[in-house]
Amino acid sequence: MLLNKIGKILKQERKMLVNTLIVADVCLIILFILLAILGSPYQSWDYSDPEWSVIGTLWHPFEWVYFKVAPLMVIVITAILGIIFVKRNK
């Protein structure tokens, strides 16, 4: 009885982990596509306005780091999901 409850809890935790990883993977891909479609809009902004200069200064490093790190994150998350699904089928 106790082992059955523990087994159900572990299955629920694994299911929640898989769903969280799938959502994270989809969000990363959607944001990557969105940033690629937008291009780099901050390059044409008027930086004499202090508000636009702050936004542009924050946008550029975020975009640069995201395009460097996001593909690696997608690969790692997808690999983890693959491992989980392979173990589930055994």
90 band by pLDDT with thresholds 50, 70 and 90: low
- Residues 62-85: pLDDT tens digits? 999 998 998 999 999 999 988 888
- Residues 2-28: pLDDT tens digits? 778 888 888 888 889 888 989 998 999
**Could you tell me which residue, 31 or 5, shows the higher pLDDT?**
31
- pTM, 2 dp: 0.72
Instruction: Give the whole-angstrom CA distance, residue 79 versus residue 72.
Output: 11
